């Protein structure tokens, strides 16, 4: 099975199970390499505003890092990477960079979860879609994705078309926007993530769509794969479908990371 580079931990306040349970689930499923990528603290907010159910508290970050390093020693039979999922917030790039550079991460996932402070992928704020022009919302989302790529902060853009999560769809052909976005991502040298969590959400599709992924392929953008597991049984979920999608888009390889340097890994029969 392909490496799973998007696994959360209970430290973020909305995932369940011990980190050992995640590792053991991966071993049981025959996965050779995983990476934890828990939510970074909500670094751009004042302490008082931080919701403990959205991300880990700032004080937890060193413990998170230490715990993953401990797991690497306990489970030599599987490669365990230290990643982190970082929100891209325009204007707060320096704060994000300071945290990212403080720890020896193998890779950094960049995510768009907020449009002007609106948590558009949070079921609690789904009413925010009402009365908005879908085309405008998609434009804003992909603008932010392009800015995230250009910021140079991230190795991989997570769930790159997350805006479709609740099946809220743009009315116009998205291909020009996909093309423009892929050009920016390719120029920045950033990878994108194939994320199977969309199959467990109302949209019931992997992020990104085959259409966007095929365009990314034509621009030579490398990919990683992640389940976005928030419980141990979700590790490696639907990776057969992820591998099929990657192949259908024309990819022959994915990439892995160590200390933020990437290596190509050829897709094999049975992945």
DSSP per position, the chain: ---EEEE--GGGSS--S-HHHHHHHHHHTT-SEEEEEEEPP-TTS-GGG--TTTS--GGGHHHHHHHHHHHHHH-TTSEEEEEEEEE--TT-HHHHHHHHHHS--SEEEEE---BTTB-TT-GGGGGGGTTS-HHHHHHHHHHHHHHHHHHT--SEESSTTGGGTT----SS--HHHHHHHHHHHHHHT-EEEEEGGGGGSTT-S-BS-HHHHHHHHHTT--EEEE--BSSGGGTTTTHHHHHHHHHHTT-SEEEEEETTEEEEEE--TT-
Nearer to Zn ion, 119 or 240 (CB): 119
Nearer to Fe ion, 116 or 173 (CB): 116
Nearer to Fe ion, 57 or 179 (CB): 57
Given the rule CB under 5 A, which residues bind Fe ion? 85, 111, 228
Q: Minimum distance from CB of 19 to Zn ion (Å)?
A: 15
Nearer to Fe ion, 161 or 228 (CB): 228
Q: For Zn ion, which stretch binds (CB under 5 A), given 60-68, 75-83, 118-126, 225-233?
A: 225-233
Nearer to Zn ion, 4 or 228 (CB): 228
Q: Minimum distance from CB of 158 to Fe ion (Å)?
A: 5
Give how far the C-alpha of residue 142 lies from the chain's centroid of Cα atoms, to the nearest Å. Answer: 15
Q: Minimum distance from CB of 58 to Fe ion (Å)?
A: 18
Nearer to Zn ion, 1 or 109 (CB): 109
Q: Minimum distance from CB of 12 to Zn ion (Å)?
A: 6
Of Fe ion, Zn ion, none, which one does residue 4 interact with (CB within 5 to 8 Å by kind)?
Answer: none
d(CA 71, CA 243): 27
Of Fe ion, Zn ion, none, which one does residue 155 interact with (CB within 5 to 8 Å by kind)?
Answer: none
Q: Minimum distance from CB of 8 to Zn ion (Å)?
A: 5
Q: For Zn ion, which stretch binds (CB under 5 A), given 40-48, 61-69, 221-229, 242-250?
A: 221-229
Interface pattern 226-265 for Zn ion (x via CB under 5 A) = --x-------------------------------------
Site residues (vs Zn ion, CB under 5 A): 228
């Amino acid at each position: 099975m392909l490496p799973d580079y998007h696994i959360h931990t209970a430290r973020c306040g909305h995932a369940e199970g011990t980190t050992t349970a995640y590792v053991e689930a991966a071993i049981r499923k025959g996965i050779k390499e995983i990476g934890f990528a828990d939510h970074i603290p909500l670094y751009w907010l004042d302490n008082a505003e931080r919701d403990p159910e959205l991300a880990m508290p700032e004080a937890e970050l060193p413990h998170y890092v230490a715990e993953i390093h401990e797991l690497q020693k306990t489970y030599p039979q599987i490669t365990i990477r230290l990643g982190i999922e970082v929100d891209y917030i325009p204007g707060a790039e320096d704060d994000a960079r300071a945290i990212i550079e403080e720890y020896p991460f193998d890779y950094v996932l960049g995510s768009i979860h907020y449009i002007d402070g609106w948590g558009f992928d949070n079921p609690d704020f789904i009413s925010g879609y009402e009365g908005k022009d879908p085309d405008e919302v998609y434009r804003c989302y992909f603008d932010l994705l392009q800015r995230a790529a250009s910021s140079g902060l991230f190795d991989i853009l997570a769930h790159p078309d997350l805006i479709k999560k609740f099946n809220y769809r743009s009315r116009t052909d998205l291909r020009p926007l996909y093309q423009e976005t892929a050009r920016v991502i390719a120029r920045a040298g950033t990878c994108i993530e194939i994320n199977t969590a969309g199959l467990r959400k109302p949209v019931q599709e992997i992020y990104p769509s085959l259409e966007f992924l095929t365009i990314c392929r034509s621009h030579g953008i490398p990919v990683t794969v992640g389940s976005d597991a928030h419980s141990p049984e979700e590790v490696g979920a639907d990776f057969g479908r992820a591998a099929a999608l990657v192949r259908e888009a024309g990819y022959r390889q994915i990439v892995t990371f160590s200390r933020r340097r990437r290596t190509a890994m050829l897709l094999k029969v049975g992945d």
